[in-house]
Amino acid sequence: MEQAELEKTIEKAKCNRWRRLSLNSKQLDTLPNSICDLPDLAYLNLRDNQLNILPSSNNNLSRLTTLILDNNSMFALPEFFVGITGLKRLSLYNNKITSLTENINKLSKMQCLNLSSNYLTRLPKSIGSCQI
């Protein structure tokens, strides 16, 4: 998917107050910051792309409850997720994640965290206080 087409899709989602957005299998390697300006979004599917980094801001994803990033190229669980306090389901199946942020316990509403088929060698101590 070309960057201009992606921006157009995101703008359409914003204007029409979409609650679900699927951008799976679009050969994306980056996401524009505008993806984080979708205040009504509850479900975001980014499965089967080549993403290895996410935008630095998540300032307007307060209603996001499900984020699917399966089969990408993520190396770490970035702080990006920690600010999405309503996140209930996070799937990072089959990435290249080697470590988790110590702030993982801030995801207090998390019900399902899928990190299978990654390269984790240790878990942070804070994961013991998670409700998962």
pLDDT at 41 over 80: yes
Confidence band (pLDDT; 50, 70, 90) for 132?
Answer: low
Q: Are 46 and 25 in contact (CB under 8 A)?
A: no
Single-letter code of the amino acid located at 20 = R
Q: What is the pLDDT of residues 44-73, one digit of tens each?
A: 999 999 999 888 776 688 899 999 999 999
Tokens of 108: 């207090």
How many Cα atoms occupy the beta-carbon half-sphere of 7 within 13 Å? 5
Measured CA to CA, the distance from residue 109 to residue 97 in angstroms comes to 22
Q: What is the pLDDT of residues 1-30, one digit of tens each?
A: 899 999 999 999 999 999 999 999 999 999
CATH number of 3-129: 3.80.10.10
